[in-house]
Structure 1
Amino acid sequence: MKKIVSHVLGFIFVVLLAACGGNEANDAQNENVETDETVTIKALNWHFDEEEYVVPSGETTIELINESGNHGIIIREANGGEDVVLNKQGSTIATLAPGEYDIICSIPCGSGHADMTATLVVT
């Protein structure tokens, strides 16, 4: 009898562990999802590599590469009315509606920080 109870408890424990770990695996997969469209924004000391970036509307990967200095970006109200924020080099996925959006540097980077802006045009 003790052996059966032990097996049943072991089975329940395994099922609970599998259920708890399932979400973590799905979250990890969602972080690695790539979209058809990618916009790469390169940040240098006090400017971006382009004044204007153009992408089609829809789900887009936004990638920030710091070529010099330490920068982050905020794209005002671009993701369904919410800001897109990258406070360090990396990427995120956003759903972009047609329009023009301001890109600003989010990390004070020196004397030219206030002028570090660009535009994202979504067609």
Structure 2
Amino acid sequence: MKKWMISIVAVGLIIALSACGTKPQASQPAANENTAGGAAGSSASSQEVKLIATNFAFDQKEYKVKKGQEVTFTLENKEGLHGIAINGLKVNLDNNKKSATVIVDKEGSYDIICSIPCGSGHMAMRAKLIVEA
């Protein structure tokens, strides 16, 4: 019984530690739209924020959006397996749900964190969402 439990714990630990060590996907040339109004022909009242995750970092330390507008958050994993949670906005993204649209109606600063334990640098994988008037 003890060997069985130790085997399960060992497999779980291996999965948790190797989550960020997965093979990176082939890179694709894409426009990097991390701030409001980057898409041509988009409505003035909607914004897109693309969060690109690599091993233990997001592509930006801060993302800025306008208060009172609809914002679509999209997650792209360039390296490893990551998820995001934006505290206070009920935004939770991962490989199963890669985008979410919310109306951000409160000014301030929101923490963006990696929501999937991805290895030794997981706790430092943070960014900020700044909501401006």
Specify the TM-score bucket, using the shorter chain as the normaliser: 0.5 to 0.7
Q: Percent identity between the aligned chains?
A: 44
Q: Does 2:47 align with 1:73? A: no
Determine which structure has more spread, i.e. the larger CA radius of gyration.
1
Q: Report the counterpart of residue 52 of structure 1 in structure 2.
A: 62
Question: Residue by residue, what CA displacement relative to the aligned partner does 1:67-90 show, whole Å, maximum 9, x if unpaired?
Answer: 110000000002xxxx21113261
> Under a length normalisation based on structure 2, what TM-score does the superposition of the two structures give?
0.61
Question: Residue by residue, what CA displacement relative to the aligned partner does 1:13-64 show, whole Å, maximum 9, x if unpaired?
Answer: xxxxxxxxxxxxxxxxxxxxx9721011100000100000001122110111
Aligned with 1:105 (options 84, 108, 114): 114
Q: Secondary structure at the match of 2:75?
A: strand
Question: Residue by residue, what CA displacement relative to the aligned partner does 1:87-117 show, whole Å, maximum 9, x if unpaired?
Answer: 3261110111221000000001010000000
Distance 1:64 1:98 in 2: 22
Q: CA RMSD in A?
A: 1.6
Distance 1:77 1:120 in 2: 11
AA aligned opposite 2:93: L
Distance 2:47 2:94 in 1: 21
Distance 2:46 2:101 in 1: 11
The structure with the largest helix share of the pair is 1
> Under a length normalisation based on structure 1, what TM-score does the superposition of the two structures give?
0.65
**Gapped runs of 5+ residues in structure 2?**
1-42
Q: Which runs of 4+ in 1 moved over 2 A?
A: none
